[in-house]
Amino acid sequence: MKRVLTYGTFDLFHFGHLEILRRAKALGDYLIVAVSTDEFNERDKHKQTVYPYEHRAAIVAANRFVDEVIPETHWGQKAEDVKKHGVNIFVMGDDWKGKFDEELKGLCEVVYLPRTERISSTNIKQSIRDGG
Supply the pLDDT for residue 115: 85
Supply the pLDDT for residue 132: 59
**112 has which bridge partners?**
92
- Does the annotation count 99 as an active-site position? no
Q: Which domains does the chain have, with CATH numbers?
A: 3-129 (3.40.50.620)
Q: Which of 45, 97, 99, 105 is catalytic?
A: 45
- Specify the length of the chain in residues: 132
Q: Which of 2, 25, 47, 97 is catalytic?
A: 47
pLDDT in tens, 85-130: 999 999 999 999 999 999 999 999 999 999 877 766 666 666 666 7
**70 has pLDDT over 90:** yes
Supply the pLDDT for residue 122: 65
**69 has pLDDT over 90:** yes
Of 9, 69, 66, the C-alpha closest to 36 is: 9
- Does the annotation count 83 as an active-site position? no
pTM (predicted TM-score): 0.89
Supply the pLDDT for residue 83: 98
Those residues whose C-beta lies under 8 Å from the C-beta of residue 29, and which sit 6 or more positions away, are: 1, 2, 3
